[in-house]
Amino acid sequence: MTKKSKSNILKASLFATGVSGIVAEYNLSTLASYFIGDSIIQWTLIVSTMLFSMGLGSRVSKIFQNNLLQKFIYIEFTLSVIVAFSSLIIFVLYSRSIHTSILIYVLSIIIGMLIGMEIPLAIRINDQFESLKVNVASIIEKDYYGSLVGGVFFAFVGLPFLGITYTPFILGIINFSVALLVFIILWKEIKNSLKKYWILGAISIFFVLIIGIFITKPIILHSEQKRYKDKIILSEQSKYQKIIITEWKNEHWLYLNNNLQLSSIDEVLYHEPLVHPAAKLCSNLKNVLVLGGGDGCAVRELLKYKTIENITVVDLDPLMTELGKTNNILVELNNNSLNNSKVKIVNQDAFKFIENTKQFYDLIIIDLPDPRNIELNKLYTQEFYSLCKRAMTADATIVTQAGSPYYATSAFECINLSIQSAGFETLKIHNQILTMGEWGWIIGKRKRAHLSLKETLLNSDFSDIETKWLNNEAIHQITSFGKNFFLKDSIEVNKIHNPTLYRYYLKGNWSIY
């Protein structure tokens, strides 16, 4: 084989390393976001840690003096196994309450160091095939090109279709295939006395990877099950989140990224206060916008109003709304609401939708996850509420879930203040939800000179709406608060350029939840 052919083999291996390296970073970042939380911080730290570790790996590679090709293949084989089983290891240890955050960062350091060793070794091996300036440029070039391909693969194929369960095995197989190809093509460069051990090792790793593909899903399901007290009957990974439904007797729980969203036992204690008080404050209820609410339960409550003509549901995750339309458990829970002819589903970021919509709505219901990170924080900002106000008719009402007024009092008050700063008169309401504790919502309308929102609501009649819990008496209960015993500090308005809310949320007293 010519020198050029041998050089091309090494360059191809670096291209593949670039693909698998960047995807390994993204996969670990996703796992860190899932298990630790605060995705912006986790992605930043994981990527930075891996890049730093690549630098360490490059430095360590200086100690290798002889048999560079064998060491390169050895690193590729090692990397293929560690990367392939990374998700499986993390899930298994997480289920046993072992410090998952430490493990994720340890893995990122190990993988980063191994990747960092490969590039200088490849350059040194390729030194015999090309001149220095061509060698360095072409080797690093291929690695960078592979990074772009890897990023595209992870965003559009790996995460949405393979998920964090099988994507690592694709990476492992890529690394193994590259090592095997280099091993076969450059067979003569390897010592004869070691060839039989390399063959045995390659065969062993091949079978380990194949076996891993088949055992990973049941092991991960078993590991996930240990984290939930009830039986998991659905576990799906979308591009945006992990969706799990558990079952106990005839009751069900929905979890998104390990956070409880609803329980069939008491979800009416959440969805009836979310929808009906705000709806009753609308004098002309025809067009409704629901931001979030992909489970369909809020829409179920809205369909009780005969005057409503159109309901637009904007939920980022197509898988969530598809489950809301087709999953037997959710369909029964939401009375098949998402398949109603009045309902239109849009799978889009809520901020982008409200920024670009030209429609006007009589009621906007914001049923989004808690603002536990920067991404969600923007959906609770003064700017976001101002955009909502622009899309509302003159007498329209807005309502948002606002977390707990007691577990995270500062966050709750921050949401209230941020809505007020957008030009709304607000009304705080709350309710005790058996599976979630004390929860709260904020209702807003344009500032008015006549009766307050609370007085208007207390004078409303809820007897004409078919509810399981909410009635006229309950309205007195959910609009009543005691003294603000838990609020200790002054609160700032939440803005895009000054994201205070998610910090308030993370500092909440969730330990008593």
**For residues 18 and 168, what is the distance between their CA atoms, to the nearest angstrom?**
14
DSSP of 428-473: EEEEEETTTEEEEEEEEEE--SSS-HHHHHHT---TTS--SS--HH
CB atoms within 10 A of CB 509: 13
Token pair of 190 as six digits: 């390897």
269 contacts: CB under 8 Å, gap ≥ 6: 431, 432, 433, 434, 469
Q: Distance between alpha carbon 405 and the CA centroid of its chain, in Å?
A: 25
CB atoms within 10 A of CB 244: 23
Residues in the chain, total: 513
**For residues 316 and 400, what is the distance between their CA atoms, to the nearest angstrom?**
17
Residue with tokens 């690695």: 143
Q: Is 367 a catalytic residue?
A: yes
H or E, element range at 69? helix 68-84
CB atoms within 10 A of CB 178: 27
List 367, 370, 395, 489, catalytic entry = 367
**For residues 136 and 138, what is the distance between their CA atoms, to the nearest angstrom?**
6
CB atoms within 10 A of CB 409: 22
Query: Dihedrals φ, ψ of 240, to 5°?
Result: -110, -25
CB atoms within 10 A of CB 211: 10
Residues carrying an active site annotation? 367
